[in-house]
């Protein structure tokens, strides 16, 4: 009789750590800096993991990577398990680690990679006793604030049963690939939108209806528009010319590279922005309040 180890099919932990960091940052370069490795080492570990599993975890494009469906599923599970392991280690380690605070923040991958991640180093240097943990569940329809310490969410400020503070206003505008403008039958006037595809992130939260109404063409039905939940995939779909998307001006990189252009600049949805949301009963000296105060100083 052969006795096999219980976890013999699990991939190496080093590969999982490299994958988790690359998936969270959507960048091999950021992952390399975070783990004090070379970019080549991160790429090697991810490739090793893909070979072990026999699946592709990333879609590799010029100057960017995207998670595949399987990659996103593995990322969520890996992150949950690593967080659980970290919490357990926090409980059983000697008192020298007891003063370390863990702050779990729910934030979208879009906002984390476009704005937040490049600023976090300053906070960590200022508060070395606080460990930040980013959880990308804020756009999940089943997201509950009770599962995290706080969240950074985009919306109109209407977040029931919690405290919210506006980080900064960020209107929603329409963007598309330049090819949709340049084509002979491309977008020239608002009436040309009748033949276009509207990309959206949630079937239950259709801002296209509001945008079209503001544009004065509420006869166009956007209810059958394709839903692409992952913002990075949705942006790439627009770059590839598959439709128009509504997004915030955090798309500046794509605009600078002429991959996307803004259409009908005089039309935008106002009263929206990124908010800090957390439970009302937080103590003033808590890690949540320290983080919120620090973030708000960046946008004053």
Domain co-membership, 3 together with 43: yes
Q: Could you tell me if 164 and 293 lie in one domain?
A: yes
Residues 14 and 65 in one domain: yes
Examine the pLDDT at 203 and tell me if it is beyond 60.
no
| Strand-pair category, 163-169 with 173-176 | unpaired
DSSP letter for 35, please: H
pLDDT at position 1 is 47
Tokens of 255: 């605009």
DSSP structure class, residue 116: I
Say if CB 171 and CB 197 are below 8 A apart.
no
Q: What is the pTM of this model?
A: 0.66
- Distance between CA atoms of 274 and 279, rounded to whole angstroms? 17
Q: How far apart are CA 3 and CA 25, in angstroms?
A: 39
- Where among 69, 92, 115 does a domain terminate? 92
Q: Average pLDDT of 48-60?
A: 91
Both 157 and 296 in a single domain? yes
Mean pLDDT of the 35-49 span: 90
81 pLDDT band (50/70/90 cuts)? confident
Whether 100 has a pLDDT exceeding 70, the answer reads: no
Asked whether residue 47 carries a pLDDT value surpassing 90, the answer given is: yes
pLDDT, position 282: 53
The answer to whether residue 224 scores a pLDDT higher than 50 is yes
Task: Give the model's confidence band at 228: pLDDT under 50 very low, under 70 low, under 90 confident, else very high.
Answer: confident
Eight-state DSSP code of residue 115: I
> For residues 129 and 102, what is the distance between their CA atoms, to the nearest angstrom?
9
Which DSSP string corresponds to 77-96?
Answer: HHHHHHHHHHHHHHHHS-GG
Contact 137, 147 (CB under 8 A): yes
Same domain, 165 and 286: yes
> Which of 51, 74, 92 finishes a domain?
92
139 and 287 part of one domain: yes
SS3 179: helix
Tell me: do 110 and 235 sit in the same domain: no
**In contact, 186 and 180? CB cutoff 8 Å:** yes
Asked whether residue 288 falls in the same domain as residue 178, the answer is no
113: helix, strand or coil: helix
Whether 9 and 68 map to the same domain: the answer is: yes
Q: According to the model, what pLDDT value does residue 91 have? A: 67
Same domain, yes or no: 152 and 291: yes
For residues 221 and 174, what is the distance between their CA atoms, to the nearest angstrom? 16
* End residue of a domain, out of 92, 122, 149: 92
* Cβ atoms < 10 Å from Cβ of 248: 22
pLDDT over threshold 90, residue 12? no
Domains contained in the chain, number: 3
Q: What percent of the chain has pLDDT over 90?
A: 18
**What's the CATH code of the domain at 187?**
3.40.190.10
In this prediction, residue 207 carries a pLDDT of 85
pLDDT digits (tens, 9 = 90+) for 110-125: 888 888 888 888 888 8
* Whether 164 contacts 151, CB under 8 Å: no
**Tokens 């890690």 -> residue:** 287
Cα distance between residue 200 and residue 254, in whole Å: 18
pLDDT, mean of residues 57-66:
81
Least confident span in 57-61, 146-150, 209-213:
146-150
pLDDT for 2 beyond 70 = no
**Degrees to nearest 5, angle at CA 247 with 172 and 202:** 100
Average pLDDT over residues 137-141: 56
Q: Are residues 276 and 287 in the same domain?
A: yes
Say yes or no: 237 and 178 in one domain. yes
Q: Domain limits at 216?
A: 173-263
What pLDDT shows up at residue 222?
Answer: 78
Mean pLDDT of 220-224: 78
Contact 109, 72 (CB under 8 A): no
Judged against a pLDDT cut of 50, whether residue 177 lies above it is answered with: yes
Is the CB of residue 105 less than 8 Å from the CB of residue 152? yes
What's 39's domain CATH number? Answer: 1.10.10.10
């Amino acid at each position: 009789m052969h006795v096999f180890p219980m976890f013999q099919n699990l991939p190496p932990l080093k590969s999982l750590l490299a994958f988790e960091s690359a998936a969270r940052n959507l960048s091999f370069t950021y992952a390399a800096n975070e783990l004090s490795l070379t970019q080549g080492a991160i790429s090697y570990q991810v490739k090793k993991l893909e070979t072990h599993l026999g699946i592709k975890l990333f879609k590799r494009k010029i100057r960017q990577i995207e998670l595949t469906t399987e990659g996103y599923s593995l990322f969520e599970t890996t992150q949950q398990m690593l967080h659980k392991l970290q919490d357990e280690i926090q409980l059983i380690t000697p008192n020298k680690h007891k003063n370390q605070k863990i702050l779990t923040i729910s934030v979208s991958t879009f906002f984390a990679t476009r704005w937040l991640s490049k600023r976090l180093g300053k906070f960590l240097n200022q508060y070395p006793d606080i460990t930040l943990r980013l959880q990308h569940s804020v756009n999940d329809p089943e997201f509950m604030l009770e599962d995290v310490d706080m969240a950074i969410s985009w919306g109109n400020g209407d977040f029931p049963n919690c405290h919210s503070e506006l980080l900064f206003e960020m209107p929603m505008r329409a963007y598309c690939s330049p090819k949709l403008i340049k084509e002979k039958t491309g977008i020239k006037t608002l009436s040309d939108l009748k033949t276009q595809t509207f990309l959206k992130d949630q079937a239950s939260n259709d801002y296209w209806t509001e945008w079209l109404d503001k544009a004065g063409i509420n006869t166009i039905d956007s209810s059958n528009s394709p839903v692409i939940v992952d913002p990075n995939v949705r942006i790439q779909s627009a770059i590839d010319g598959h439709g128009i998307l509504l997004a915030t001006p955090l798309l500046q990189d794509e605009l600078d590279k002429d991959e996307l252009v803004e259409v009908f600049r005089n039309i935008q949805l106002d009263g929206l922005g990124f908010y800090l949301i957390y439970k009302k009963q937080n103590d003033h000296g808590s890690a949540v309040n320290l983080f919120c105060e620090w973030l708000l100083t960046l946008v004053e």
